[in-house]
Structure 1
Amino acid sequence: MLQNTYKIVGGKIITPYRIIDQGTLLITGDKIAQISEGDIHAPGAIEIDARGNYVSPGFIDIHIHGGGGHDFMDGNETAFLKIAETHARFGTTAMVPTTLTSTREELLNTLDIYKEADKKNTMGAKFIGMHLEGPYFSPDQRGAQDPRFIRNPDPKEYEAIIAHSDVIKRWSAAPELPGAIPFGRYLKSKGIIAAIAHTDAIYEETLEAFENGYTLATHLYSCMSGVTRRNAYRYAGVIESAYLIDEMDVEIIADGIHLPAALLQLVYKIKGTVKTALITDAMRGAGMPPGDSILGNIATGMKVIVEDGVAKLPDRSAFAGSVATTDRLVRNMVQMAHVPLTEAIKMISTTPARIMGIQDSTGSLIEGKQADVVIFDENIDIRMTMVNGHIVYTKP
């Protein structure tokens, strides 16, 4: 057999249907060749002993800005590659690099850099398309997004951006803005996921948005409307709408800080694993020690401070981004929200793969799918990360 044939033995293999204790996972090239309860005869295969740990599908992060001291908005290939390598250490095997609200020139440059970095990315989590977060947001729900660049959807602008690059896979916007509904329809016509974010929409506006392509709620609860009053009358916001619209997908920052345990439990109870994806929404401080940091471009971004496991504005009046890694998301869902491990794994693998439309090639341990595999212990500490059958990280 070829050198790139691996046989993982002695682990608890997490399949979409069950956990196979002491099972065997055979990987040939970049694909899963076979899964068995017993041994698999594979002469010449490189044997990896999982030592009783879990063998899981790789973690897929569909909303991430940075890590390891770098941000995708830094304007260079090194940032992309170092972020991918950093998060692979924590179990991420695929990611959707995400922008921040910026100038059009900076945005186009980031899209161009993505394509070049993607060709060189051999030692980190693979890239599965870009996510544009902004600039079409409600100013009142901007969070840490730069208010200088927030604006309404302009077809001349967004059509030109989409024509410029074919790597855009999702775009987050506030659906109540003038022009946002035609924008959603245009995204849908191009096969791009329209997501609701940084918004003050009420239920009626959210429902109209859903009917016109907005199928995903970006970081549920964060920077979006809940129940509001207008002239003494109550209106359901985006949060309630996401629960009411059964077909709407949601993503949550399960760092244990943006959402406390009770809200993690509520999302799981109502939306379930099939409609909920776990995301890091991580900025450059992920995988780094606490201290001063920058949100966005290293030269022009906003100064923030990383402490208590989260990024904050310097005056500590609000959060300014997450520093989570995907292993932490799974750990929190299991230990804080008391979600069964197999269900938490679906929320970080199967569901995000389905949302991004790549479920036929990755997101679960099934014969014929890409060999995106992680091995972790009872505390969800990562022991090994494999991307497309290539080992990119092993714990020293």
Structure 2
Amino acid sequence: MLTIINAHVISSNGIIDRGWVSIKDDCIVAIGDYKTLPKEGGQGEIIDAQGLYLSPGFIDIHVHGGGGADFMDNELEAYLTIAETHAKFGTTAMFPTTLTSEAELLWETFSVYEQSLSMNQSGARFYGLHLEGPYFAMNQRGAQDPRFIRNPDRLEYQSILTKYRHLIARWSAAPELPGALEFGDHVCEAGIVLALGHTDAVYEDVVRGVAHGYRLATHLYSGMSGMTRKNAFRYAGAIESCLLLEEIDVEIIADGIHLPEPFLKLICKNKRKDQIVLITDAMRGAGTSDRESILGSKQNGTPVIIEDGVAKLPDLTSFAGSVATADRLIRTMVDIAEIPLMDAVQMLTLNPARIMKIDSQIGSIEKGKQADLVLFDEKIAVKMTIVGGKVIYKA
């Protein structure tokens, strides 16, 4: 038994001042305020939070790397490094994310990821792969390698789904591409979350995509079409469509750079708080002081520079992923988007857990859920990270 006392507990129903949470093995077994705290002897080991906030562990559903490593390095050591790096900033669960690449490298990724699941991890836990590509619009590729962008290939994706559906939690694609709607049907039938991203779609394309399962927007505004003209007529792009359509949840890179203040506030005004998910979209430079880095694998990735708190292509034509960590996302939403702390935490805990269909296990501080918890101060500086009831990081 482990009991955390004297914390501002961020529960689904509000913040419990001078609250406590008891953990047995890897599960939360009791929650309360100071009036209901069990007497000494019934608490087991005690952690005195001394007035810190106690939050559910942060869940990052779109992350490429950190600590100088990238998942596309296809090395077990890279997986460990990324998991441990982001745990220092409060991430307790993550979905390793690929980049558009040659088919051989993707197949290798499946193999290495499967091996990683049997490792003795001391960082954030993995809950499934997020395949970002390769079925994207060339005009919205951003930093994705144009050599490997292609239309949905039925033989290719059916082969992947047949062999590796148990490893894939999410797949991002552009719904307007030839074959993308049929692709969406197959992905959804496999029980995988389908997202629209790096897309040049107009409103009608997005509406059709929704009907075939595209219900999550991959990094809203980044790699997405906006309003366009055809023969002098205006057409709503993917951005306007995602803001408008009730069926679509949105993820945002809330580092304050990819989306400055007006965009963050516009999103919060147009989407319900339970429809917004915060992501790092972090590349290998996250959690480091590096000024030069590589997006993607060490072998054939894209060189980038890191300045102004973001990764950029050397010619400055595009951002190339973020170097954000989860704590920075919360700070940005509270300080810049000016939303309540509870709402910001929900966007990085319960919301991603629900969308990724793991909210029965994690995402909130509730009796019976896994004890993934974070202690942080009023500046969202992480002081302790707990995964499955075990302290894996302490500042």
Structure-2-length-normalised TM-score: 0.98
State the Cα deviation string for residues 276-314 of structure 1 (Å, max 9, x = none): 100000000000103110000012101000111100111
- Taking the aligned partners of 2:371 and 2:250, their CA distance within structure 1 comes to 26
* Residue aligning to 2:358: 358
State the Cα deviation string for residues 132-157 of structure 1 (Å, max 9, x = none): 00000001100000000000001100
* Residue aligning to 1:18: 14
* Residue aligning to 2:317: 317
* Residue aligning to 2:169: 169
CA contact (8 A) 1:81 1:121 kept: no
State the Cα deviation string for residues 98-151 of structure 1 (Å, max 9, x = none): 000011111111111111112114200000100000000001100000000000
User: CA separation of 1:126/1:97 partners in 2, compared to 1, >3 Å: closer, same or farther?
Assistant: same
Provide the identity percentage.
Answer: 55
**Following TM superposition, where does structure 1 have runs of at least 4 consecutive aligned residues deviating by more than 3 angstroms?**
41-44
In the alignment, structure 2 segments of 5+ residues that lack a partner are: none
Pair 1:34 & 2:12 matched: no
Pair 1:127 & 2:123 matched: no
* Residue aligning to 2:69: 70
- Taking the aligned partners of 1:35 and 1:122, their CA distance within structure 2 comes to 27
State the Cα deviation string for residues 204-226 of structure 1 (Å, max 9, x = none): 00000001011100000001011
Alignment of 1:158-307 (within 5 A): 158-165=157-164, 166-307=166-307
* Residue aligning to 1:376: 376
State the Cα deviation string for residues 32-90 of structure 1 (Å, max 9, x = none): 01001121245461111111010000000000000000000001111111100000000
Pair 1:148 & 2:144 matched: no
The alpha carbon displacement at 1:261 in A equals 1.0
- Taking the aligned partners of 1:37 and 1:77, their CA distance within structure 2 comes to 42
2:342 match: secondary structure: helix
- Taking the aligned partners of 1:258 and 1:299, their CA distance within structure 2 comes to 27
CA contact (8 A) 2:3 2:43 kept: no
Letter of the 1:291 counterpart: R
State the Cα deviation string for residues 345-367 of structure 1 (Å, max 9, x = none): 00000000000000111100000
CA contact (8 A) 1:290 1:307 kept: no
The alpha carbon displacement at 1:265 in A equals 1.0
- Taking the aligned partners of 1:126 and 1:392, their CA distance within structure 2 comes to 11
State the Cα deviation string for residues 185-234 of structure 1 (Å, max 9, x = none): 11111001111000100000000000101110000000101111011110
Structure-1-length-normalised TM-score: 0.97
Question: How many residue pairs end up in the alignment?
Answer: 391
State the Cα deviation string for residues 215-255 of structure 1 (Å, max 9, x = none): 10000000101111011110001111112211211100000
Letter of the 1:40 counterpart: P
- Taking the aligned partners of 1:35 and 1:12, their CA distance within structure 2 comes to 12
Letter of the 1:340 counterpart: P
- Taking the aligned partners of 1:384 and 1:185, their CA distance within structure 2 comes to 42
CA contact (8 A) 1:26 1:40 kept: no
* Residue aligning to 2:388: 388
- Taking the aligned partners of 1:315 and 1:220, their CA distance within structure 2 comes to 23
CA contact (8 A) 1:283 1:321 kept: yes
In the alignment, structure 1 segments of 5+ residues that lack a partner are: none
- Taking the aligned partners of 1:164 and 1:57, their CA distance within structure 2 comes to 34
Letter of the 1:29 counterpart: D
Alignment of 1:337-352 (within 5 A): 337-352=337-352
- Taking the aligned partners of 1:264 and 1:118, their CA distance within structure 2 comes to 35
State the Cα deviation string for residues 259-278 of structure 1 (Å, max 9, x = none): 00111111111112210100
CA contact (8 A) 1:361 1:369 kept: yes
Letter of the 1:343 counterpart: D
* Residue aligning to 2:333: 333
